[in-house]
């Protein structure tokens, strides 16, 4: 029996954000710097975060519909070795679908991950050991 969207164990304390890098044209960057210099934003990061949030807000209904249709968990989901051993003992597998942050505890072995995680679809960030990431690479959607 497959489990979709299992309720895993307690969540670890995770970083509040993920660092990304973008390339901007000189004119766009100059306009951002002008707005910062004029006091509209405290710095470039403040401008970029505000722009992204405003754009996401304008698409909030579309995101909500896709999350519901594709059955994603919205937010953070953490998988412990104890939880996965319980899934294994029940002879079940997980189809993990997360929009946000999915973490697989450091004590989860590649063998346990392979035995319990049938598919992995993470839009956002996946935190797992390099060994578990490598083991699950072919199961990522």
Residue range of the domain that includes 30: 26-58
- Does 12 fall in a domain? no
* Residue 49 and residue 93 share a domain: no
* Residue 47 and residue 116 share a domain: no
* Residue 46 and residue 100 share a domain: no
Domain boundary, last residue among 5, 35, 58: 58
| Residue 71 phi, psi (nearest 5) | 55, 50
* Residue 85 and residue 47 share a domain: no
The Cβ of residue 75 has, within 10 Å, a number of other Cβ atoms equal to 12
- Does 101 fall in a domain? yes
Q: How far is CA 118 from CA 22, 68, 89, 104, 106, in A?
A: 33, 20, 15, 14, 19
- Residue 8 region by backbone torsions, left for phi larger than 0, else alpha for psi between -120 and 50, else beta: beta
CA atoms within 13 A on the CB side of 21: 0
- Does 13 fall in a domain? no
Rounded CA-CA distance 97/140 in Å is 10
Quote the number of domains for the chain.
2
pLDDT per residue over 37-55, tens digit each? 999 999 999 999 999 999 9
* Residue 52 and residue 30 share a domain: yes
Q: If you average pLDDT over every residue of the chain, what do you get?
A: 89
- Does 2 fall in a domain? no
At 2 the pLDDT is 42
DSSP string, 45-71: HHHHHHHHHHHHHHTHHHHHHHHHHHT
* Residue 100 and residue 72 share a domain: yes
* Helix (H) or strand (E) segment spanning residue 83: helix 81-89
* Residue 133 and residue 65 share a domain: yes
* Residue 79 and residue 97 share a domain: yes
pLDDT, greater one: 65 or 35: 35
DSSP string, 2-37: EEES---SPPP---S---------HHHHHHHHHHHH
In the predicted model, is pLDDT for residue 9 greater than 70?
no
* Residue 46 and residue 70 share a domain: no
- Does 17 fall in a domain? no
């Amino acid at each position: 029996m497959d489990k979709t969207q299992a309720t895993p164990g307690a969540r670890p304390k995770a970083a509040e954000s993920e660092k990304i890098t973008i390339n901007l044209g000189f004119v766009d960057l100059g306009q951002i710097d002008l707005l910062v210099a004029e006091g509209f934003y405290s710095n470039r990061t403040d401008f970029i975060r505000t722009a992204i949030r405003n754009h996401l807000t304008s698409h909030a209904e579309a995101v909500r519909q896709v999350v519901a249709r594709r059955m994603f968990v919205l937010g953070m989901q953490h998988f412990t070795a104890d939880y996965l051993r319980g899934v294994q003992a029940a002879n079940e597998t997980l189809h993990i679908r997360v929009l946000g942050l999915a973490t697989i505890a450091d004590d989860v072995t590649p063998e346990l991950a392979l035995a319990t995680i049938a598919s992995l679809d993470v839009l956002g960030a996946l935190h797992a050991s390099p060994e578990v990431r490598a083991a699950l690479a072919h199961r990522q959607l």
